[in-house]
Amino acid sequence: MEDEYNNTKIETKAADSSSGSYVPSAESVPVSEIPEQELYHAKSFWTRWVFCQDAKVIGVQYALTATAIGLIGLVLSWGMRLQLGFPETFSFLGPATYYQSVTMHGMIMVVYLLTALFLGGFGNYLIPLMVGARDMVFPYVNMVSFWMFLIAVLVLISSFFVPGGPTGAGWTLYPPQAILPGTPGSEMGIVLMLVSLSLFVIGFTMGGLNYVITILQARTRGMTLMRMPLTIWGIFTATVLALLAFPALLVACIMMTLDNLLGTSFFMPEIFTMGEQLGTTGGSPILFQHLFWFFGHPEVYIVALPAFGIVSDLISVHARKNIFGYRMMVWAIVIIGALSFVVWAHHMYVSGMNPYFGFFFATTTLIIAVPTAIKVYNWVLTLWRGNIHLTIPMLFSLGFIVTFVNGGITGLFLGNVIIDIPLSDTYFVVAHFHMVMGIAPLMVIFGAIYHWFPLMSGRHLNQTLGKIHFWISFVGAYAIYFPMHYLGFIGVPRRYYEMYDSPYMATGVGLNQFITVAALIVGFTQILFLYNIIHSTFYGEKSEKNPWKANSLEWHTPEMPPAHGNFGKELPVVYRWPYDFSVPGIDREYIPQHVAPSEVPTAKVEKT
């Protein structure tokens, strides 16, 4: 790892500042103590676009790969919905294929789409630009990270083509059933899934190293932690969570792979099957559940925290108002991140654990609602008396707030043991988690794409298509998931391939058909969105520089889209936070982060 080592320099600085004679001045441009990063300049097509070390290109590569695998996840969900809505008409999905679709849909969406898109995609693209760095600190490792991710995705896809097909154990992959005959894909599918996840974790750790260290150590001058855009705070905290949580998944994957291939009994208890005893004894399936959810719960926040951060920025920019309670927002992100490590067993209330254990986890779960609610209030208070521009990013942000509140509140119910136990295996849970960690983050992703697309391509996305996309996705999401809450209440169990003539389904049949039709329409709208992206990349309306009049550094690069190295000769120097909109006392409407106080002498400083 190449690095400049300049501790000696810093120590001398420290020595003269400790004498107390140094009086900081508001205006002087501080000397750059960090030497310019040596960038690898690509020479050929291959090193520029394929094996590229530029974080922006890596971000786009991550986003494209994640979108491609996400489309497979989308198509799988159509298959499931057709089966659930019209079991007689569409019989192409057998029970085994149904379970495989459920499993692959869940795993793809949570890990390979959302995590990769938020941290790999937006993280890579935005971190260096927003903190004012030329690139990530270890560009080579960053490149390897993407290629590991790509291999992980390819291994995952290859499991569709092996004998027995992909695993059908549910996205939680609980042993012993995941690796026993009878579960679809227990031959090769599960092994490929575990290998793919392990590769993903290793690749992610390489990327995460970059994100964390770039944010901590490679910011531009004047960019203190408390002047960073909340997007960066969200991505930073989520990456720290991921670095600490993914090892649990890795450990669980390694042990389960061995249980499967070598016949060890880490998780496998004594099992009798077809009148014969298998060779395993004494293993604990609950141990796997603990490991899995020790990863699985922080994973929810790995997806949610970047969304929180990004949406804060979108709301502030498009409402032309500073974010309400910036410090509180940062604290809330950090507190949510810390608490997310002590709530994992609320996914295991029905696993037969000690009731006092459940009591503890119910309490911590409910405590998380406090910082989360603070964030929601702050978003709403930012909007209050703001100059709200109903642009598409703003529409999606508003959609996010409503959806997140909805999904969050059902989460409060499910966090209580006594309510969770009857609802645990019903569609209520399906509706809850799709609202809170499916639709809500997706709203932010869409908003963010509409927001940053001009930066990435120099062109706007088509507004009409965008509005159609928003309204159908937003209303459609409610058409899909609101009825599911009701299905849960009347007792329709999740994971069932078909309900046959079950008495539950007297009212459920029509609803299920309605949900299926809505899901198909919403799904096809996403194709429209992809068409919009492809079409606008080449023929979209040309965007002027900084079309949203935002303050953060990524919009103030010399070229748009930003060139290799991001900023021209000189890195920008930061004098303020990125939320100086409608500041009283001056005649300009917004003050970008790099505008020195001397240029806006009459601006009033507001308490944040």
Residue 248 engages another protein in binding (rule: CB under 8 A): yes
Nearer to another protein, 202 or 521 (CB): 202
Q: How far apart are CA 286 and CA 164, in angstroms?
A: 26
Sign of CA dihedral 361, 365, 367, 368: positive
Least separation in angstroms between residue 345's CB and another protein is: 14
Among 4, 38, 589, 599, binds another protein (CB under 8 A): 4
Does residue 595 belong to the site contacting another protein (CB under 8 A)? no
| Measured distance CA(235)–CA(297) in Å, rounded | 17
Q: Toward another protein, which CB reaches closer, 65 or 210?
A: 210
226 binds another protein (CB under 8 A): yes
Contact status: 250 vs another protein (CB under 8 A): yes
Binds another protein (CB under 8 A): choice among 39, 213, 586, 603:
213
HSE, CB side, 13 Å, CA atoms: give it for residue 80: 23
Please report whether residue 218 would count as binding another protein according to CB under 8 A. Answer: yes
Residue 513 · residue 449 · CB < 8 Å? no
Query: By C-beta, is 232 or 477 nearer to another protein?
Result: 232
Residue 456 CA to residue 59 CA, distance in Å, equals 11
Q: Which stretch binds another protein (CB under 8 A): 6-14, 116-124, 174-182, 439-447?
A: 6-14
Alpha carbons 55 and 603: distance in angstroms, whole number? 35
Q: 351 with 367: CB under 8 angstroms?
A: no
* Nearest approach, Cβ of residue 306 and another protein (Å): 18
Contact region with another protein (CB under 8 A), list: 60-68, 408-416, 438-446, 575-583? 575-583
Residue 243 binds another protein, judged by CB under 8 A: yes
In the region spanning residues 11 to 70, those forming contacts with another protein, defined by CB under 8 A, are 11, 13-14, 17-18, 22, 24-28, 30, 32-34
Interacting positions 256-285 with another protein (CB under 8 A): 258, 262-266, 279, 281-284
- Of residues 278 and 521, the one with the C-beta less far from another protein: 278
Q: How far is the CB of 24 from another protein (least distance, A)?
A: 4
Q: How far apart are CA 399 and CA 328, in angstroms?
A: 23
Residues 28, 275: Cα–Cα separation, whole Å: 82
Kindly tell me which of 333 and 505 has the beta carbon lying closer to another protein.
333
Residue 602 touching another protein (CB under 8 A): no
Residues 148-207 that bind another protein (CB under 8 A): 205
Residues 6+ apart with CB under 8 A from 311: 379, 397, 400, 401, 444, 447
CA pair distance 444, 289, nearest whole angstrom: 30
Q: Point out which span in 168-176, 240-248, 421-429, 526-534 binds another protein (CB under 8 A).
A: 240-248
Phi, psi of 461 (to 5 degrees): -75, 155
How many chain residues are in contact with another protein, going by CB under 8 A?
Answer: 79
Rounded to 5 degrees, what angle do the CA atoms 118, 120, 121 make? 65
CA distance 204 to 298: 15
* Shortest reach from residue 173's CB to another protein, in Å: 16
Asked if 600 touches another protein (CB under 8 A), the answer is no
Does 607 sit near another protein (CB under 8 A)? yes
Phi, psi (deg, nearest 5) at residue 542: -65, 140
Report residue 189 as tokens.
């599918």
CB of 376 to another protein, least distance (A): 20
One of 87, 222, 285, 458 touching another protein (CB under 8 A): 222
Q: How far is the CB of 225 from another protein (least distance, A)?
A: 5
Residue list 301-340, contact with another protein (CB under 8 A)? 327, 330-331, 334
**What residues between 135 and 154 interact with another protein by CB under 8 A?**
137-138
Q: How far, CA to CA in Å, does 340 sit from each of 236, 371, 442? A: 15, 12, 21
For residue 125, give every residue at least 6 positions away whose Cβ sits within 8 Å of its Cβ, in sequence order, or none: 55, 56, 59, 60, 63, 452, 456
Provide, for the chain, the percentages of residues in helix, strand and coil under a 3-state DSSP scheme, each rounded to the nearest 5. Answer: 65, 0, 35
